[in-house]
Amino acid sequence: MTKTINLTLKVWRQKGPEHKGHLETYRADHISTDMSFLEMIDIVNDNLTLDGDDPIAFDHDCREGICGMCGTVVNGRAHGPEKETTLCQLHMRHFSDGDTIVIEPWRSRAFKIIKDLVVDRSALDKIIAAGGYISVNTGGAPDGNSILIPQDIAELAMDAAACIGCGACVASCPNASAMLFIGAKISQLALLPQGKPEAAGRALSMVREMDRLGFGNCTNEKECEAECPKEISITNIARMNREYFKAGYFFSKK
Amino acid sequence: MHLDSKIPGGPLPDKWDRHRFELKLVNPANKKKFEIIVVGTGLAGGSASASLAELGYNVKTFCIQDSPRRAHSIAAQGGINAAKNYTNEGDSIQRLFYDTIKGGDFRAREANVYRLAQISNHIIDQCVAQGVPFARDYGGLLANRSFGGAQVSRTFYARGQTGQQLLLGAYSALMRQVAAGMVKMFPRREMLDLVIINGKARGIVVRNLITGEIETHKGDAVVLSTGGYGNVFFLSTNAMGTNVSAAFRAYKKGALFANPCYTQIHPTCIPVHGKHQSKLTLMSESLRNDGRVWVPKNPGDKRLPHQIPESERDYYLENKYPSFGNLVPRDVASRNAKEQCDNGKGVGKTGLAVYLDFEDAIKRDGKDLIAKKYGNLFHMYDKITADNPYETPMMIYPAVHYTMGGLWVDYNLMSTIDGLFVMGEANFSDHGANRLGASALMQGLADGYFVIPYTIGGYLAGTTLEGVNESHSAFTESTQHVREGIEKLISINGKRTVDDFHKQLGLIMWDHCGMARNDQGLEKARRLIQELREEFWENVRVPGSNVEFNQSLERAGRVADFLEFSELMVMDALVRRESCGGHFNEAFQTSENEAKRDDENFSHVSAWDYKGKDADPVMRKEQLVFEHVELSQRSYK
Ligand SMILES: Cc1cc2nc3c(=O)[nH]c(=O)nc-3n(C[C@H](O)[C@H](O)[C@H](O)COP(=O)(O)OP(=O)(O)OC[C@H]3O[C@@H](n4cnc5c(N)ncnc54)[C@H](O)[C@@H]3O)c2cc1C
Ligand code: FES
C-alpha cells in the first residue's frame, strides 16, 4: 500500500569549485514510499524553484542503475543504505517517517566539485585512455567463434565488466583509491584471450596514470566492495596486483 | 525538392559492395587534413568516432553526459542481432533482412535493411575482438537466444547488460583514440545549433554545461548521433537527458525530418506508480521467452493472481496468435495489452497492467535455470516494486521506448543538408514503422563502425570545401540566436516549472498520439500543444543564470523543442491515412483489430520540410520500392 513519510534533509550546497560549501536543511514532506530517492529530490527541487531558490544540482540520467551517472553519499554511505543499489534505484520505502537524511557529494582529491552534489569524474576516463582497451581497429576481426572462451572465464570477465564507473569505490575508500575500478577493467581484459597480448603494458600504464591523477592506494579496507552497486569483487584488485607485478618483472627483464 | 535516396544499382546483395567500390576514396595522407564533428557517444557516435579516427581523420566528439561511456545506449538490456546462423536453424542474411523489413511493416528501404543484415555479422566479430564478454555456451562458443518476434535464435547478449558491454567496447576504442590524440573529446556539451556555410554543414554551436559558455566548433562534416525523441512523452524508458534538440535544430536549418509519428511502445515495462514518477523501467522482452502473459477472463476480477484458477485466466496472446504466442512483435503485444485493459481486464491498483507469469517456466525448468536467465531482471523488478516475481507474477504495461522516425538520410546516411550525416536512433532509416528487438544496437554499430567510415570519405573526396573559421558570420549569427533563446527562457520567470510543462505535454501525447490514435484525438492534441507552448513561453520558471551549471535551463531548452516537435508528430500521424507498425489509427484496422496498411497510397516515407516559424512545414515523399519482398499483411497467427 502507498504510504507517505516526512523527512528532514541536510544537503551539501556549493555554488562552484572555488566557493565554500555548507550543509543546508530542507523539508521533504508527503513523500510516497514508492518513490525513488531521486524522485524525492525532484520534489524538493520543484519547491525550491517555485520559491525562487536555486534547485539542488545532482547528476543522473538512466535512473535504472546502469549509466553510473548518479551517486552521492547518503548518511555517510555511497549510494545510500541498500546493498548493491545505485542511488537512482534506492526507494523511499527504506526510510522511515521523521528520518533526517544527510546528502553529500563524492569526496576525493581526484574528483573536484562542480556544483552541489555534482563532481568531475573525468579522471576515470583518463585512466581508461591510459590502456583500458584492446588495440584493435575496426575491420579485419576474425569470426567471433574462432576464439573459444570457456564459459566460466566469460562469466568472470563479465562480472568484472559490469562496473558502471560511478566512482562509489573511490568515494567510500578511506584512501580515495580507484583500485576497484581499475582492477575491474584490468581483470576483464586479462581474463579474456583477446586481452592477453597487451596485459602487461596495460597494467603498468593504467596504474601509473592512477598514481599521477592523485588517487590513493589500496590498504585492504574493503569499503569499495561493500559499497559497489554492481558487487564488483575485491579479488579483481588481487588480480590487478598480480598482473602488475608480473608486468613489472616482464618489463624489467627486457 | 526531390528526395534522392541514392540507392546503388545492381542486385540487392551486391549493392553495398558495388557502392563501396564506386565511392571515391580520400588519400590516406589527406585524411588528417579533415576535421569531423561527431555529436553523441552512444553506440553510433562512439563507434563512428573511433573508426574515423583510426582511419586518420581528426575527430571532435561531443556529448551531454560527464563521460562518453554514459550515453543512453548503456541501458540496452536484451541483445544484438546478427545473421550468423551459429545455431543452424536456417538463419541467413536474407532471413534477417526479410524479418526486419516485415517487422517494420514494409515501411523501410530494402537496400538499407539488406546492408544492415550483411554488416550484422562483422559487428559481432568486431565486438568480440574488443573484449566484449558475450555469453558463451559450455563449449566456449558464442551463445544465442531468440528475441522479440524472431523464430530463430540470432540474438547475442551479455547477461541483461548487452548495451552496456557494447557501449563500453566502443567507448574503449574511442578512449584509445583520445589517448592517440586523434579524437578531441568534449563532454558536458550540448549542441544547440548547426552552422551552415555555402549550403554545407560546417560546424556546431554548443553550450558548455559547466560554465554556460557558448562555444563554436568548425568542421568539414557534422555527424549527428544524438539518439531518439521518446522523451517527448515525458515518461519513457529512455534516459532522462534523451532529447530531440540536436535533430530538431538541424531540421530548422533545412534537414528533413522523416516519419516522426512512428514511435515504439514497448510491451514489457513496470507500470506507472504515481504522479511523481520520473521514468519507466523496461523489463527486457527476453522475459517473454518464458513468461506467459495473461489477464483474468472476467472484467473487474480483483482477486490476487494465485486465487484465479486456470480456467478463468485468458492467455490472450497465446490464444490469439498460436504460432508466435507471447513472442509477437512489440507493437502487437502492446496494443493487445491496452485492449485488455480498455476492456476492464487490467490488473493491479490502477487497472493498467497485465500479468507476466513465470510459474510454469519455474515448474518446467526449475528456479535455478530461470534465475540464471533472468536473475538480474527479477532482482530489479523486486527492487522497484517490492514484489518477488519468483512467487507472484510480474505486472507489466506498455511504455514509450524507441522512435523509428528521425532525420531523413540517403543510403550514405547523409541528410538533406550536404555534409550533415545522421546515424543511430536519430535517423529514420532502417526500422520502418516498427523496430524489432535487438536491432537498434545492430543498426547503431553498423552505421558507426561500417557505413559512415566509407560514405563520409566519398563525400569529402567528392566535394570542394573552402577553408572556414569560427569568426565567419554564420557562426556569429548562430551564436547570437542561441544566446537570445537562452536569455528569453531565463527572463520569463513565470510560475510553473519546466517539468510541470513536460509532464503535461507527455500526457497529451500519450492520450492522443500514443498506442492508438484517431483523427479527433490528434486534432485535439494539436490544439492542446499549441496552447501549452504559448503558456510555456509566458509562464515557465527557469531559476538561476545562463553562466553557470544550470540543469533547469538545460531541460527548458529541450522541453521548448519538444513543444514544437510534438506538433510535427501529430501532423505526421494525421496525414498517414493508414495504420502501420507503431502508428495505429483506429479508423484503419482489419476486422481482427490489426493494423491495416494502405500500400497503394502510403508506401512512402513522409519527410517534413521546415518552412519557418509562422508557416506549416511541407511534407515531401520518398516512394518506397519493393523489388525483393512481397508486401503482405503481417500475420503472427
Ligand atoms: C531500456 C532500453 C533497453 C533497450 N534494449 C535494447 C536491446 O536490447 N537491443 C537493441 O537493439 N536496442 C535496445 N534499445 C534501443 C537502443 O538502446 C537505442 O536505440 C540505441 O542505443 C541508441 O543509440 P544511439 O547511439 O543512436 O544514441 P544514444 O545511445 O541515445 O546516444 C545519444 C548520444 O547523443 C548525445 N546527445 C544527445 N543530444 C545531444 C545534444 N544536443 N548535444 C550533444 N550531445 C547530445 C548524448 O549525450 C549521447 O551521447 C533499448 C533502449 C532502452 C531505452
Ligand atoms: S542514473 Fe544511471 S545509474 Fe543512476
Cα B70 to middle of ligand 1, angstroms = 10
| Architecture per CATH, A121-136+147-252 | Orthogonal Bundle (1.10)
> Residue B39: helix, strand or coil by DSSP?
strand
Cα A121 to middle of ligand 1, angstroms = 22
Phi, psi of B200 (to 5 degrees): -120, 145
The pLDDT of residue A82 is 95
CATH number attached to the domain at B473-603: 1.20.58.100
A154·B135 Cβ contact <8 A: yes
B65·A54 Cβ contact <8 A: no
Q: What is the pLDDT of residues B216-240, one digit of tens each?
A: 999 999 999 999 999 999 999 999 9
Q: What is the pLDDT of residues B546-575, one digit of tens each?
A: 999 999 999 999 999 999 999 999 999 999
Q: What is the pLDDT of residues B73-125, one digit of tens each?
A: 999 988 999 999 999 999 999 999 999 999 999 999 999 999 999 999 999 99
The pLDDT of residue B403 is 98
For residue A9, list its beta bridge partners. A26, A101
B479 within 8 A of B201, measured Cβ to Cβ: no
The pLDDT of residue B115 is 98
User: What average pLDDT does this structure show over B517-526?
Assistant: 98
Q: Which residue has the cell 575508500?
A: A173
Name the residue among B271, B235, B268 with its Cα closest to residue B374: B268
* Beta-carbon-side half-sphere exposure of residue A45 (alpha carbons within 13 Å): 24
Burial class (CB in 10 A: 0-12, 13-18, 19+), B141: middle
Phi, psi of B18 (to 5 degrees): -60, -40
- Whether B330 shows a pLDDT value over 90: the answer reads no
CA separation for the pair B147, B142 (Å, rounded): 16
CA separation for the pair B505, B24 (Å, rounded): 46
Distances in Å between the Cα of B76 and the Cα atoms of A187, B162, B390, B593 are: 23, 6, 23, 31
The pLDDT of residue B636 is 76
The pLDDT of residue B323 is 87
Q: Which residue has the cell 481482427?
A: B592
CA separation for the pair A101, A78 (Å, rounded): 13
Q: Note down pLDDT in tens along chain A; length 254 residues.
A: 579 999 999 999 999 999 999 999 999 999 999 999 999 999 999 999 999 999 999 999 999 999 999 999 999 999 999 999 999 999 999 999 999 999 999 999 999 999 999 999 999 999 999 999 999 999 989 999 999 999 999 999 999 999 999 999 999 999 999 999 999 999 999 999 999 999 999 999 999 999 999 999 999 999 999 999 999 999 999 999 999 999 987 666 54
Residue B272: count of CB within 10 angstroms of its CB: 14
CB-ligand 1 contact for B190 (6 Å cutoff): yes
A89 CA: nearest ligand 2 atom: 4
A145 touches chain B (CB under 8 A): yes
B64 CA: nearest ligand 1 atom: 47
CB-ligand 1 contact for B227 (6 Å cutoff): yes
B125·A132 Cβ contact <8 A: no
| Architecture per CATH, B266-401 | Alpha-Beta Complex (3.90)
CATH 3.40.190.10 fits A4-112, yes or no: no
Substitution target in A61, A148, A166, A230 with the highest count of B β-carbons within 10 Å is A61
Cell of B261: 509519428
User: What average pLDDT does this structure show over B352-361?
Assistant: 96
CA separation for the pair B53, B1 (Å, rounded): 34
CA separation for the pair B254, B312 (Å, rounded): 57
Chain A nearest CA to B593, separation (Å):
34
Query: Across the interface, which of A36, A138, A161 has its CB nearest the CB of B453?
Result: A138
Burial class (CB in 10 A: 0-12, 13-18, 19+), B66: buried
Distances in Å between the Cα of B43 and the Cα atoms of B323, B343, B356 are: 34, 40, 30
Q: Where in chain A is the domain with CATH 3.10.20.30?
A: 4-112
Chain length of chain A:
254
Q: What is the pLDDT of residues B201-212, one digit of tens each?
A: 999 999 999 999
Cell of B377: 531482471
The pLDDT of residue A252 is 63
CA separation for the pair A65, B412 (Å, rounded): 36
Query: Across the interface, which of A48, A122, A192 has its CB nearest the CB of B131?
Result: A192
The pLDDT of residue A77 is 97
Kindly list the catalytic residues of B: 330
The pLDDT of residue B60 is 98
Angle between helices B498-512 and A37-50 (to 10 degrees): 120
Cell of B528: 492542446
Cα B386 to middle of ligand 1, angstroms = 28
B276·A118 Cβ contact <8 A: no
Name the residue among B433, B584, B596, B595 with its Cα closest to residue B107: B433
Interface of A with B in 181-210 (CB under 8 A): 188-189, 192, 194-195
Chain B nearest CA to A173, separation (Å):
22
The pLDDT of residue B331 is 84
The pLDDT of residue B376 is 80
- Residue B580 DSSP code: B
Residues in CB range of B366: below 8 A, 6 or more apart: none
Q: Which residue has the cell 582511419?
A: B55
Cell of A65: 542503475
CA separation for the pair B436, B634 (Å, rounded): 13
CA separation for the pair B238, A54 (Å, rounded): 26
Q: Which residues on B lie below 8 Å from A144 (Cβ)?
A: 84, 124-125, 127-128, 134, 142
CA separation for the pair B172, A128 (Å, rounded): 7
Q: To test ligand 1's pocket by mutation, which of B63, B236, B264, B407 has the most ligand atoms within 8 angstroms of CB? A: B63
Chain B nearest CA to A29, separation (Å):
13
Q: Which residue has the cell 584512501?
A: A175
- Residue pairs spanning A and B at CB distance below 8 A: 217
Residue A2: count of CB within 10 angstroms of its CB: 11
Q: What is the pLDDT of residues B407-462, one digit of tens each?
A: 999 999 999 999 999 999 999 999 999 999 999 999 999 999 999 999 999 999 99
ipTM confidence score: 0.98
User: What residue in B sits closest to A34 (Cα-Cα)?
Assistant: B273
User: What residue in B sits closest to A46 (Cα-Cα)?
Assistant: B497
Residue B169: count of CB within 10 angstroms of its CB: 28
CA separation for the pair B259, B435 (Å, rounded): 13
Interface of A with B in 72-131 (CB under 8 A): 85, 89, 91, 93, 114-115, 118, 120-122, 124-125, 128-130
Cα B43 to middle of ligand 1, angstroms = 7
CB-ligand 1 contact for B75 (6 Å cutoff): yes
As a whole-number percent, the residues of chain B with pLDDT over 70 amount to 100
Query: Across the interface, which of A39, A129, A149 has its CB nearest the CB of B277?
Result: A39
Which pTM does this prediction carry? 0.97
B136·A38 Cβ contact <8 A: no
Q: Where in chain A is the domain with CATH 1.10.1060.10?
A: 121-136+147-252
CA separation for the pair B541, B538 (Å, rounded): 9
Substitution target in B47, B61, B276 with the highest count of A β-carbons within 10 Å is B276
Cα B74 to middle of ligand 1, angstroms = 7
CA separation for the pair B519, B595 (Å, rounded): 16
Domain boundaries, chain B: 266-401, 473-603
Q: Which residue has the cell 556544483?
A: A115
Query: Across the interface, which of A69, A128, A144 has its CB nearest the CB of B65?
Result: A69
Measure the CA angle with vertex B378, ends B372 and B379; round to 5°.
100
Residue B519: count of CB within 10 angstroms of its CB: 13
Residues in CB range of B485: below 8 A, 6 or more apart: B192, B557, B560
Considering just the CA atoms, what is the radius of gyration of chain B in Å?
24
The pLDDT of residue B634 is 75
Q: What is the pLDDT of residues B247-298, one digit of tens each?
A: 999 999 999 999 999 999 999 999 998 889 999 999 988 899 899 999 999 9
B169 within 8 A of B156, measured Cβ to Cβ: no
